[in-house]
Structure 1
Amino acid sequence: MMRAWILPMLFVLCGSAVATGPILRGSPGEAAAILLVFVLLAGVNSPLVFPRSIGALEAQRRSAVDGRPVVYWRSGCKYCLRLRFRLGRRAGRLHWVDIWRDPDGAAAVRAANDGNETVPTVVVAGRSHVNPDVEWVREQLSPSA
């Protein structure tokens, strides 16, 4: 669980270190702006940006019932962030599995990607798709799909 927070914590620590310089020079406004940028970067790369993750087994069970795709992701992945932001509100309709929090999810991704933990991996009807096009994912959420 801590693994998902390493990158955000590093952003905050680095921001604090960088902001120390302007504080020592007597420029608290500049320091606050620098720290704000680093805190925003930490927030974007934190697990808080994504819908609540569930376990891989639970996601597979839910997907079998409702037919919605399962997205395997990890924090700090720019491709996962891009998929999440471009899906907008529709992202909440997917089942999200954080592979850094769920060993079964990591194992499922490795099985689908020749032993690599390549994310985002989207599973639809039992078929894996690595870093799929956002429009394709939206189509999988449409009622006619």
Structure 2
Amino acid sequence: DGRPVVYWRPGCTYCLRLRLRLGRDASRLHWVDIWRDPAGAAVVRAANGGNETVPTVVVTDGPHTNPDPAWVREQLPPPT
């Protein structure tokens, strides 16, 4: 649907930091728990040399591992 996808897992402090720093904008992303979604875990491994490093954010130009929250906010489509 055009939204950036954030691959995350429970207990990940970097994932929590991203979600908290994004605040309300976090709801404008699609969040995929790699522990519940094997296909999501495969995407993360493919993007990170076989490692399940999260958060991995996928936007139109490809995956970005543990990006700065300000950068992620810039990738959001305009609110409707």
TM-score band by shorter chain is over 0.9
Q: Which of these residues, 1, 6, 10, is aligned with residue 75 of structure 1?
A: 10
- What amino acid is the match of 1:135? A
Deviations, residues 54-107 of structure 1 (Å, cap 9, x unaligned): xxxxxxxxxxxx321000000000000000000001100100000000100001
Matched, 1:130 2:65: yes
Deviations, residues 22-62 of structure 1 (Å, cap 9, x unaligned): xxxxxxxxxxxxxxxxxxxxxxxxxxxxxxxxxxxxxxxxx
Compare the two structures and name the one with the higher helix fraction.
1
- What amino acid is the match of 2:53? T
SS for the counterpart of 1:96 is strand
SS for the counterpart of 1:141 is coil
Q: Counterparts of 2:61 and 2:2 in 1: how far apart (Å)?
A: 10
Q: Counterparts of 1:95 and 1:89 in 2: how far apart (Å)?
A: 13
- What amino acid is the match of 1:120? P
Matched, 1:115 2:50: yes
Residue segments in structure 1 that go unaligned for 5+ positions in a row: 1-65
Tell whether the 8 Å contact from 2:8 to 2:56 is kept in structure 1 after alignment.
Answer: yes
Q: Which has the higher contact order (CA 8 A, sep 6+)?
A: 2
Compare the two structures and name the one with the higher strand fraction.
2
In structure 1, the residue matched to 2:74 is: 139
Q: CA RMSD in A?
A: 1.0
- What amino acid is the match of 1:76? G
> May I ask how many residue pairs the two structures share in their alignment?
78
Tell me the percent identity. 79
Larger Rg: 1
The runs of at least 4 aligned residues of structure 1 exceeding 6 Å deviation read: none
